[in-house]
């Protein structure tokens, strides 16, 4: 596939947050460390593609989303949107065209909505601030369109409502409608259904899949839930401590995971009818180390049941283990 | 309970329990004639959406209802004796000693300015009348029991990870050797791998200490892993009760079936998950008849007008007109 097919590319993307040492450390000249939240990620998203970014808390998945939506500034690497380098573009006016095309959906609809704004205001806001409409009737049309696309029907009934008058599922739909209103080409959705009841989740996922099918919109779906990722995504990328450990088609990652971390994640996921593959590898002990103290060698080696000497010394590169399937593990080589 | 097939008295019986919440002079029913029994050592999952009454049911059992809640009817019996769940002072000897709770947000439930060992020792001193030395020894023992090295007892809550804090919560819940532990979404805030560790720990403790476990969760797959039996709640009522194996293989209530279908399950191979139409009901304005009828694909005329009774059906119980009629049909055929 030529690069032009990708709507977005991350090349060696890196976000390090400096740790402010205390006065004592500075006087003694101790080196200040850094939290390596995102530590060299290569990821591409095709037009109309749904990519799921899966990881535990602290893996850096939200930071990746914030880099893509230009809410966080990378400390290294490049962000390419349709081949154009957006890495160092800053400032609200310079970013306006970009914000028009890339939108974000946040996890917590309770916090994302201003309690004093009506649904109409919330959805109209990006249209107004990005100056995408000329008059009031155009604005109303675009707001209606977005609310309908997010599954709030009939849209007119919701215009004058405040967030507290809506159910949790409706609130999340308003957040989605706000992102859709500008007709973006890429949406970054950060755990968009994790706060919702199970019965509502499927409705929201359906809305997101419809957007791709009807408008060829690309989606980066950030989640900690592997089965959920499998149900919505074309490809799944697994993140551990700021680095992608495995990436491949949703089916490959789910049914044929190659990296021991992906396997552990799958085995730990509770499943109806039991998890048939459990027991092939021992359950993981311990917890994710701090991103301020990334282990040397393979960053997963202290918890890896298959680690050997090389893993403690050398960081494994992404190794091709199948078509479009990469795994960063020395064990994948053989 | 009408269907007490066991000879011995169940550990806990909840009998037609109804709880109302008063809000600005209006009262709304949070749980409505909830009945079930729990045997010693049994693990039951209480599953439902927000507002389904699962937490109210559990908090009523532990007598930890909020001040604006009122037990309207029904009772809770522990080893055959009625519990004074609406009398705070009278419940004090029972609470934590017989029934304890592991709450969801361990960070909020722990005191940030006390070392964890002290927090675990406190209930031992208050409830079991131990001296400080005895209580500290007991707290160290409890920490080891939940898989934390006793030396970590000098840590403050903020120095521990989410999983460790949840272990501390479990240690506190076990301090007075209760026979029932209620877990209110104990793993919801945790990562998948940590969740698996905590569920494994609860399972081990359960068999070691013969604990009965009531696990409140919105996640059916957690119940599938950790429980023997599951009760599905909807709009304040139990709509289905059965063994985990039965319910997942052959759900009887349409709501249960839709709930299972709406969870992505790679093992099923079905990638497209079917949404449940509509929104959860508003308890201030409960639908007539069966509360699920506005969202139910199999709703009939009778569902709109009549509340279905909660009847035995196979090994379990179900509250659905579909199953009552099929039972009657069967009776008719046999007659």
Residue (of A284, A277, A102) closest to A180 by Cα position? A102
Q: List C-alpha distances in Å: B30 to A22, A284, B71, B87.
A: 52, 40, 10, 19
Inspect the interface and report whether the beta carbons of A273 and B248 lie closer than 8 Å.
yes
Of the candidates B192, B194, B218, which has its C-beta nearest A287's C-beta? B194
Of the candidates A56, A170, A199, which has its C-beta nearest B262's C-beta? A199
Give the 3-state secondary structure of residue B126. Answer: helix
Please list every residue in chain B whose beta carbon sits closer than 8 Å to the beta carbon of residue A57.
162, 191
pLDDT tens, position by position, A211-232: 899 989 999 999 999 999 999 9
Q: What is the pLDDT of residue B107?
A: 65
Give the 3-state secondary structure of residue A99. Answer: helix
Task: Report which of residues B8 and A8 the model is more confident about.
Answer: A8
pLDDT > 90: what percent of chain A?
58
Task: Report which of residues A300 and B325 the model is more confident about.
Answer: A300
Residue B4, classified by CB atoms within 10 Å of its CB into exposed (0-12), middle (13-18) or buried (19+), is exposed
Q: Which of B275, B276, B280, B296 to mutate to test the interface with A (most CBs of A within 10 A)?
A: B275
Distance from CA of B297 to the nearest CA of A (A): 14
Inspect the interface and report whether the beta carbons of B192 and A226 lie closer than 8 Å.
yes
User: In 10 A of CB A5, how many CB atoms?
Assistant: 11
Q: Is A305 on the interface with B (CB under 8 A)?
A: no
Q: What is the pLDDT of residue B334?
A: 37
Pairing state between β A325-327 and A243-249: antiparallel
Inspect the interface and report whether the beta carbons of A199 and B276 lie closer than 8 Å.
yes
| Rounded average pLDDT over A226-251 | 95
Distance from CA of B267 to the nearest CA of A (A): 8
Of the candidates B196, B267, B276, which has its C-beta nearest A283's C-beta? B196
Distance from CA of B282 to the nearest CA of A (A): 9
Distance from CA of B49 to the nearest CA of A (A): 6
Task: Report which of residues B267 and A137 the model is more confident about.
Answer: A137
Place of tokens 């890896």: A304
Residues 6+ apart with CB under 8 A from B47: B54, B217, B218, B219, B220, B223, B230, B231, B232, B233, B259
Please list every residue in chain B whose beta carbon sits closer than 8 Å to the beta carbon of residue A50.
none
CATH class held by domain A6-270+281-333:
alpha beta
Please list every residue in chain B whose beta carbon sits closer than 8 Å to the beta carbon of residue A288.
191
pLDDT tens, position by position, A252-285: 999 999 999 999 999 888 888 666 555 556 678 7
User: In 10 A of CB B252, how many CB atoms?
Assistant: 23
A206, closest residue in chain B (CA to CA): B275
| Rounded average pLDDT over A150-174 | 88
Of the candidates B197, B263, B275, which has its C-beta nearest A272's C-beta? B263
Q: Is A157 on the interface with B (CB under 8 A)?
A: no
| pLDDT at residue A26 tops 90 | no
Strand order in the sheet with A76-81: A34-46, A6-18, A76-81, A84-85
Distance from CA of A27 to the nearest CA of B (A): 27
Q: What is the pLDDT of residue A334?
A: 54
Q: Is A153 on the interface with B (CB under 8 A)?
A: no
Distance from CA of A57 to the nearest CA of B (A): 7
Q: What is the pLDDT of residue B330?
A: 42
* CA A30/CA A24 separation, integer angstroms: 9
DSSP-derived secondary structure letter, A317: P
| pLDDT at residue A290 tops 60 | yes
Q: Is A272 on the interface with B (CB under 8 A)?
A: yes
Q: Which of B201, B257, B266, B272 to mutate to test the interface with A (most CBs of A within 10 A)?
A: B266
Q: What is the pLDDT of residue B325?
A: 55
Q: What is the DSSP string of B157-181?
A: GGGS-HHHHHHHHHHHHHTT--SEE
Inspect the interface and report whether the beta carbons of B279 and A255 lie closer than 8 Å.
no
| Greatest Cα pair distance in chain A | 67
Q: What is the pLDDT of residue A3?
A: 43
Please list every residue in chain B whose beta carbon sits closer than 8 Å to the beta carbon of residue A198.
49, 218-220, 259, 262-263
Q: Is A276 on the interface with B (CB under 8 A)?
A: yes
Residues 6+ apart with CB under 8 A from B195: A268, A270, B187, B222
Residue (of A249, A298, A252, A259) closest to A281 by Cα position? A259
List the beta strands (DSSP E) in A224-329: 235-240, 243-249, 319-322, 325-327
Of the candidates A198, A202, A265, which has its C-beta nearest B192's C-beta? A265
Task: Report which of residues A112 and B34 the model is more confident about.
Answer: B34
Residue A187, classified by CB atoms within 10 Å of its CB into exposed (0-12), middle (13-18) or buried (19+), is buried
| Rounded average pLDDT over A119-128 | 93
* CA B104/CA B190 separation, integer angstroms: 10
Q: List C-alpha distances in Å: B99 to B90, B147, B175, B181.
A: 14, 22, 11, 6
Q: Which of A228, A268, A284 to mutate to test the interface with B (most CBs of B within 10 A)?
A: A268
Inspect the interface and report whether the beta carbons of B50 and A168 lie closer than 8 Å.
yes
pLDDT band (50, 70, 90) for residue A321: very high
Q: What is the pLDDT of residue A22?
A: 76
Inspect the interface and report whether the beta carbons of A198 and B263 lie closer than 8 Å.
yes
Task: Report which of residues A329 and A5 the model is more confident about.
Answer: A329
* CA B46/CA B52 separation, integer angstroms: 10
Q: What is the pLDDT of residue A132?
A: 87
User: In 10 A of CB B104, how many CB atoms?
Assistant: 20
pLDDT along chain B (335 residues), means of 10: 56 95 86 94 92 91 89 93 88 89 79 92 89 94 93 91 90 93 88 88 92 93 91 95 93 93 84 80 86 93 93 90 64 37
* CA A235/CA B136 separation, integer angstroms: 52
Task: Report which of residues A313 and B279 the model is more confident about.
Answer: A313
Whether A175 and A207 have beta carbons less than 8 Å apart is answered as no
Q: Which of A61, A168, A193, A202 to mutate to test the interface with B (most CBs of B within 10 A)?
A: A202
First vs last Cα of chain A: how many Å apart?
A: 27
Q: What is the DSSP string of B70-108?
A: EEEEEEEEETTEE--TT-HHHHTTTBTTTEEEE-S-HHH
Q: What is the pLDDT of residue A279?
A: 54
Q: What is the pLDDT of residue B141?
A: 94
Q: What is the pLDDT of residue B275?
A: 82
Q: Which of A197, A254, A277 to mutate to test the interface with B (most CBs of B within 10 A)?
A: A197
Place of tokens 């819940």: B173
B274, closest residue in chain A (CA to CA): A202
Helical ranges in chain A per DSSP H: 23-27, 61-68, 92-101, 109-112, 119-129, 136-149, 168-180, 198-215, 226-232, 250-255, 260-268, 309-313
* CA A142/CA A71 separation, integer angstroms: 25
Q: What is the pLDDT of residue A284?
A: 80
* CA A163/CA A118 separation, integer angstroms: 7
Whether A13 and A76 have beta carbons less than 8 Å apart is answered as yes
| pLDDT at residue A313 tops 80 | yes
Of the candidates B192, B272, B280, which has its C-beta nearest A197's C-beta? B280
């Amino acid at each position: 596939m030529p690069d032009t097919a990708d709507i977005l590319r991350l090349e060696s993307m890196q976000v390090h947050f400096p740790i402010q040492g205390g006065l004592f450390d500075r006087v003694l000249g101790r080196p200040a460390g850094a939290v390596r939240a995102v530590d060299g990620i290569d990821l591409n998203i095709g037009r109309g593609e749904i990519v799921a970014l899966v990881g535990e808390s602290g893996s850096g998945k939200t930071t990746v989303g914030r880099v893509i939506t230009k809410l966080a500034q990378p400390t290294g690497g490049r962000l390419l949107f349709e081949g154009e380098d957006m890495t160092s573009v800053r400032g609200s006016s310079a970013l306006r065209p970009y914000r028009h095309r890339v939108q974000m959906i946040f996890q917590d609809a309770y916090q994302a909505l201003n309690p004093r704004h009506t649904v109409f205001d919330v959805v109209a806001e990006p249209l107004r601030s990005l100056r995408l409409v000329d008059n009031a009737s155009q604005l109303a049309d675009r707001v209606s369109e977005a609310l309908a696309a997010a599954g709030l029907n009939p849209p007119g009934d919701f215009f004058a409502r405040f967030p507290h008058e809506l159910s949790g599922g409706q609130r999340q739909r308003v957040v989605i409608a706000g992102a859709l209103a500008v007709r973006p080409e890429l949406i970054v959705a950060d755990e968009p259904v994790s706060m919702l009841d199970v019965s509502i989740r499927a409705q929201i996922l359906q809305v997101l899949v419809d957007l791709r099918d009807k408008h060829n919109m690309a989606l980066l779906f950030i989640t900690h839930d592997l089965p959920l990722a499998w149900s919505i995504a074309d490809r799944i990328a697994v993140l551990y401590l700021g680095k992608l450990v495995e990436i491949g088609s949703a089916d490959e990652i789910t049914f044929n995971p190659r990296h021991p971390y992906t396997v552990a994640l799958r085995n730990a996921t509770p499943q109806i009818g039991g998890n048939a593959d459990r027991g092939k590898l021992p359950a993981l002990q311990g917890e994710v180390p701090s991103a301020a103290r990334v282990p040397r060698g393979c960053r997963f080696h202290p918890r890896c049941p298959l680690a050997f000497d090389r893993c403690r010394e050398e960081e494994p590169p992404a190794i091709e283990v199948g078509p479009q399937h990469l795994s960063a593990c020395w064990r994948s080589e053989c | 309970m009408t269907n007490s097939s066991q000879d011995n008295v169940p550990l806990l019986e909840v009998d037609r329990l109804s709880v109302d919440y008063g809000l600005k002079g209006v009262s709304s029913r949070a749980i409505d004639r909830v009945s079930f029994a729990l045997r010693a050592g049994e693990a039951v999952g209480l599953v439902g959406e927000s507002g389904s009454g699962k937490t109210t049911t559990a908090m009523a059992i532990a007598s930890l209802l909020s001040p604006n809640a009122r037990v309207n009817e029904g009772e809770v019996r522990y080893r055959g004796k009625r519990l004074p769940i609406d009398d705070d002072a009278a419940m004090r000897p029972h609470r934590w000693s017989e029934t304890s709770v592991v709450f969801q947000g361990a960070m909020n439930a722990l005191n940030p300015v006390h070392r964890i060992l002290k927090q675990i020792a406190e209930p031992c001193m208050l409830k079991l009348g131990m001296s400080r030395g005895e209580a500290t020894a007991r707290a160290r023992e409890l920490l080891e029991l939940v898989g934390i090295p006793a030396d970590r007892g000098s840590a403050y809550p903020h120095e521990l990870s989410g999983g460790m804090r949840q272990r501390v919560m479990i240690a506190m819940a076990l301090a007075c050797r209760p026979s029932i532990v209620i877990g209110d979404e104990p793993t919801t805030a945790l990562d998948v791998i940590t969740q698996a560790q905590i569920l494994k720990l609860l399972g081990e403790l359960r068999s070691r200490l013969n604990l009965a476990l009531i696990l409140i969760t919105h996640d059916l797959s957690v119940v599938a892993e950790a429980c023997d039996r599951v009760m599905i709640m909807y709009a304040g009522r139990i709509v289905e009760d059965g063994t985990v194996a039965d319910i997942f293989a052959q759900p009887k209530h349409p709501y249960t079936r839709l709930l299972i279908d709406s969870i992505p399950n790679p093992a099923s191979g079905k990638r497209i998950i079917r949404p449940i139409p509509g929104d959860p009901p508003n308890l201030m304005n409960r639908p007539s008849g069966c509360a699920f009828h506005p969202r139910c694909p199999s709703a009939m005329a009778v569902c709109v007008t009549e509340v279905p009774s909660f009847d035995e059906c196979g090994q379990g119980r179900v509250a659905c007109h579909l199953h009552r009629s099929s039972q009657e049909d069967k009776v008719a055929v046999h007659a």
